[in-house]
Structure 1
Amino acid sequence: MTPVTRSGIRLPAWLAVPAVLGAGLVGLPLIGLLSRVDLGGLAALLGSPASREALRLSLLTSLAATVLCVLLGVPLALVLARAAFPGRRIVRTVVLLPIVLPPVVGGIALLSTFGRMGLLGAALEAGGMRIAYTWVAVVLAQTFVSLPFMVLTLEGALRSHDSRYEEVAAGLGASPGYTLRRVTLPLLTPALVSGTVLCWARALGEFGATITFAGSLQGSTRTVPLEVYLLRETDPDGAVALSLVLVLVAAVVVGLLYRPGRQA
């Protein structure tokens, strides 16, 4: 039987085999996770002080990181997509590097910069400002790994959109700021929403850079992924139950971003 796409184009029948294997490779572990969840124990776990504190901290820091990603990522994507300057390709490579960089390496890089003996950390410590192993470090680590998703999403949208609307606005005498607010950003709204949600989801699930740069201090830097890691050693069933929370959040994010009929 030859698979038929929604557009009516026929696909080779052999594609079904690797497609099913690929779906199974991702889906079966999630089914295995669900099979081990004790729903009765989930309510008790989420009611524990450690879990509530981890959830609170994760929500606050991930939202703060998302705000930073919007404030910094949108201008950065606009400059990379529309401005011409020497070294633009190098800047783009550096900005997107955290996507492929192991998070723990990103944590070491942040520690080397903002740590007590880091590039900027020593001066900050002398001024009475400590960043490493504080909630600020959590936000910076989450922003470090999430910002490239905003840049990648918006830059791709900018390159695919026709710039004639902006050219017409400029030709009619609109200032660059007015054109940005009334023409460019409205055109980018779907991509901006997608990039924002992706950044928030990535920040919420961040682990490697956080534990390296911020540590795991209960009530201060221990987010939900870190709490899951610690529970894995002392309470495996609790780790499974708390993992379910992150799986449900991820499912909601994916469902919102890729629901049928939605245009990116």
Structure 2
Amino acid sequence: MSVPPDVVAAESRAWVWVPPNATRVETDEYLLVRMPEWFAIPLELLRFDPERPAEVVVDEMLTRARAFDQPFVNCWVKLHNDPGLDEVFSARGGELDETLDVLALDLADGLPDLGPIGHLELRWALDVATMRDNLQVSADVFGDSMPPADEIAEETQRALKDFEVGSGSVVAYLDGVPVGSGGISLVNGVARLWGGAVREEARGQGAYRAILDARLRRAASRGAHMALVTGRVQTSGPILRRAGFERYGEERSYRVPLG
């Protein structure tokens, strides 16, 4: 079965993640976040729900963004936003930085067969060593830096609590070397899949499928009825569609200069 588009739109709109240690600037109309120092993208507009003309709200947001003394802010056009928002960001010098497919899978009829995982080993990041591997893979693929040791320890403690309710991150190892990782958050029966990453030299060996399979199995064991994910158009998106996920639209980010 297919997930109704209005359900996907509502769940996509509700999905906004702000990392610990981030600084928020939030109003009813937008959410601007200064990320922790180890994030590759320091400043992001994660939510935009204007009640006034979009141009007015964007200019107000940009004024507040300049207070962080960063060269740019990444601004997201989400599934529910007016497509005209792209033009607003472009008119302010924004350049298209990322395009993601919004994909969903109905879990009511069971899990897709994603094939064998071969000689890959999967571990959930529930100790400091595995959490470090998880964060290192993500940093290598997405261009972040590694957080300090105390933050890795705190992240491990958070992961232990999250795992009790079905959330967490899983790491794929090839011959003992961490090559991929991905996370899952369970929210009201929806499995939000995030951070799927495989090192370039290990691609094509089933690591992404194995990580996807582990997360979907955990979601199903906890009674999730739907999986939701955003996938890069050229990499994870095609894999997800072959696994049975349906595309419902896209999200785009624009890198808007603050000079």
Using the size of structure 2 for normalisation, the TM-score is: 0.21
Larger radius of gyration: 1
- Greater share of residues in helix: 1
Scaled by the length of structure 1, the TM-score of the pair is 0.21
- Please state which structure has a larger fraction of its residues in strand: 2
